[in-house]
Amino acid sequence: MNHFIISEDEINIVEFNKQFKNPNAGAISSFQGIVRNNNLGKDVLRLEYQSYDRLAEKEGGNIINEALETFDIKSAYCTHRTGTLEIGDIAVVVIVLAGHRDDSFKACRYIIDEVKLRVPIWKKEIYQNGDSGWLKGAG
Amino acid sequence: MNHFIISEDEINIVEFNKQFKNPNAGAISSFQGIVRNNNLGKDVLRLEYQSYDRLAEKEGGNIINEALETFDIKSAYCTHRTGTLEIGDIAVVVIVLAGHRDDSFKACRYIIDEVKLRVPIWKKEIYQNGDSGWLKGAG
Amino acid sequence: MELINIKVIYFAVLRDLAKKKEELLSVDSGTTPQSLYDMLQEKYSFPDQNTYKVAINDNFTEWNEPLDQQDIIVFMPPVTGG
Amino acid sequence: MELINIKVIYFAVLRDLAKKKEELLSVDSGTTPQSLYDMLQEKYSFPDQNTYKVAINDNFTEWNEPLDQQDIIVFMPPVTGG
pLDDT digits (tens, 9 = 90+) for B80-96: 999 999 999 999 999 99
Q: Please indicate whether, in this complex, the C-beta atoms of D55 and A52 are within 8 angstroms of each other.
A: yes
Nearest in space to C74 (alpha carbons), one of B113, B54, B83, B136: B54
Q: Per CATH, the architecture of D3-76 is what?
A: Roll (3.10)
Q: Please indicate whether, in this complex, the C-beta atoms of A52 and D82 are within 8 angstroms of each other.
A: no
C60 contacts in chain B (CB < 8 Å): 55
- Judge whether A54 is closer than 8 Å to chain D, CB to CB: yes
- When CB atoms are compared, the residue of D11, D55, D78 closest to A136 is D78
pLDDT at D37: 98
B91 contacts in chain C (CB < 8 Å): 81-82
| Distance spanning both ends of chain D, measured CA to CA | 45
CA distances from A34 to A87, A108, D82 (A): 8, 16, 8
- When CB atoms are compared, the residue of B55, B121, B134 closest to C81 is B121
List strand residue ranges (DSSP E) for B13-53, in order: 27-34, 38-39, 42-51
H or E element in which residue A9 lies: none
Confidence of residue B139 (pLDDT cuts 50, 70, 90): low
A30 pLDDT above the threshold of 90 = yes
CB A21 within 8 A of CB A73: no
Q: What is the DSSP string of D2-33?
A: -EEEEEEE--HHHHHHHTSSEEEEEEETT--H
B31: helix, strand or coil = strand
Q: Please indicate whether, in this complex, the C-beta atoms of A122 and D11 are within 8 angstroms of each other.
A: yes
List strand residue ranges (DSSP E) for A4-139, in order: 4-7, 27-34, 38-39, 42-51, 73-81, 83-86, 90-98, 121-127, 132-134
HSE at residue A73, side-chain half, CA atoms within 13 A, is: 29
The chain D residues in contact with chain A (CB within 8 A) are 9, 11-13, 15-16, 51-53, 55, 58-60, 74, 76-82
D13 contacts in chain A (CB < 8 Å): 122, 134
B15 pLDDT above the threshold of 80 = no
H or E element in which residue C55 lies: strand C53-56
User: Which residue of chain C has the CA closest to B132?
Assistant: C13
pLDDT digits (tens, 9 = 90+) for B62-76: 999 999 999 999 999
CB B12 within 8 A of CB A16: no
Q: Please indicate whether, in this complex, the C-beta atoms of C78 and B139 are within 8 angstroms of each other.
A: yes
A76/chain B closest Cα distance in angstroms: 14
CA dist., res. B75 & res. B98, Å (int): 7
A99 contacts in chain B (CB < 8 Å): 36
Instruction: Please give the single-letter amino acid code of residue A17.
Output: N
pTM of full prediction above 0.80: yes
pLDDT at B12: 77
Which ranges of chain C have pLDDT less than 50?
Answer: none
Average pLDDT, chain D: 97
Tell me which long-range contacts C11-14 makes (C-beta under 8 A, separation of at least 24): C11/B50, C11/B51, C11/B52, C11/B120, C11/B122, C11/C74, C11/C76, C11/C77, C12/B50, C12/B122, C12/B124, C12/B134, C12/C77, C13/B122, C13/B134, C13/C47, C13/C77, C14/C44, C14/C46, C14/C75, C14/C77
CA dist., res. B64 & res. C4, Å (int): 37
- When CB atoms are compared, the residue of C51, C79, C82 closest to B120 is C79
Q: Can you name the residues that pair with A96 across neighbouring β-strands? A: A29, A76
C35: helix, strand or coil = helix
Poorest-confidence range of A32-41, C23-32, D5-14, D57-66?
A: A32-41
B10 pLDDT above the threshold of 60 = yes
B14 contacts in chain A (CB < 8 Å): 13-14, 17
Question: Please, which residues 68-127 of chain A have a Cβ atom closer than 8 Å to chain B?
Answer: 87-88, 99, 101, 104-105, 108-109, 112
D21 contacts in chain A (CB < 8 Å): none
More reliable by pLDDT, A16 or C69: C69
Give CA angle at B62 (C64, C66), nearest 5°.
15
Nearest in space to B119 (alpha carbons), one of B68, B43, B64, B46: B64
A86 pLDDT above the threshold of 70 = yes
A51 pLDDT above the threshold of 60 = yes
Question: Please, which residues 7-36 of chain A have a Cβ atom closer than 8 Å to chain D?
Answer: 33
Query: In this structure, how many other beta carbons lie within 10 angstroms of the beta carbon of residue B38?
Result: 16
Q: Please indicate whether, in this complex, the C-beta atoms of B124 and C12 are within 8 angstroms of each other.
A: yes
Instruction: Please give the single-letter amino acid code of residue A134.
Output: W
User: What value does the CA radius of gyration of chain D take, rounded to a whole number of Å?
Assistant: 12
A1 pLDDT above the threshold of 70 = no
- When CB atoms are compared, the residue of D12, D52, D55 closest to A134 is D12
Evaluate whether chains B and C are touching (3 or more beta carbon pairs less than 8 Å apart): yes
Query: In this structure, how many other beta carbons lie within 10 angstroms of the beta carbon of residue C65?
Result: 15
pLDDT digits (tens, 9 = 90+) for A113-138: 999 999 999 999 999 999 999 998 86
User: Which residue of chain C has the CA closest to B34?
Assistant: C82
Average pLDDT, chain B: 92
